[in-house]
Amino acid sequence: MGKILGETLISKEEIADICKELGRRITEDYAGKQVFLIGVLKGAFVFLADLARNIDLPVDMDFISVSSYGGGTQSTGVVRIIKDVDQNIAGKHVIVVEDIVDSGLTLNHLKQLLSTRKPASIALCTAFDKPERRKVPIEVEYVGRRIPDEFIVGYGLDYDGIYRNLPEVRILREAAEE
């Protein structure tokens, strides 16, 4: 069954407000410190760029790449590191930046892995969250927006590799639903 773009769930303006608010909270919570953002590729690259520009602190950043959905819309449950961070994170205030939390498997795994490297602190930040879909309990300190159980695309999020460049978040629908 073909997939087509459905309605806009989160507009460009709402996304800008979300980034502003999360940046403000992080700036306040980490006052006097330097933060180390770790973006989860590929999806988080758009959000990380906006978030970083809303944090009024010294910000260093790096990226990590993990295996994700293989062309479909269901998580395989397998989390595999494809590209690790290049830098040593020991003693740093790490914030892992994700596009969306679904089952929670990715962030849960990453938090455990990165914690073994002795960062000064580690927090999780996601643009979007689908709490209904959680398979493992996970505390995410910074959540941009909770959304219902829908498959979304845009603002870094893809379906089969495309739609990441959409400036707003849209719902992906079955062609027959329309």
Binding site for Mg ion (CB under 5 A): 43
104 binds, among ligand IMP, Mg ion, none (CB under 5 to 8 A by kind): ligand IMP
Quick one: 23 or 43, whose CB is closer to Mg ion? 43
Pure H helices in 30-128? 45-52, 105-115
| 157 counts as binding ligand IMP under rule CB under 6 A | yes
Q: Which is nearer to ligand IMP, 89 or 138 (CB)?
A: 138
Query: In the bound complex, what is the minimum distance in angstroms from residue 43's beta carbon to Mg ion?
Result: 4
Phi, psi of 138 (to 5 degrees): -150, 135
CB 96 within 8 A of CB 122: yes
Q: Tell me the torsion sign for CA atoms 49, 107, 114, 94.
A: positive
The strand pairing partners of 128, in sequence order, are 100, 145
The residue from 102, 129, 149, 160 that is catalytic is 102
**Residues in contact with ligand IMP, total (CB under 6 A)?**
18
Is 56 a known active-site residue? no
Interatomic CA distance for residues 42 and 8, integer angstroms: 21
- Minimum Å gap between C-beta 165 and ligand IMP is 14
Quick check: 7 and 32 in contact, CB under 8 A? no
What one-letter code names the amino acid at 99?
A: D
- Does 106 help bind ligand IMP (rule: CB under 6 A)? yes
User: Active-site residue numbers?
Assistant: 102
Q: Which residues bind ligand IMP (CB under 6 A)?
A: 40, 43, 68-69, 75, 98-106, 151-153, 157
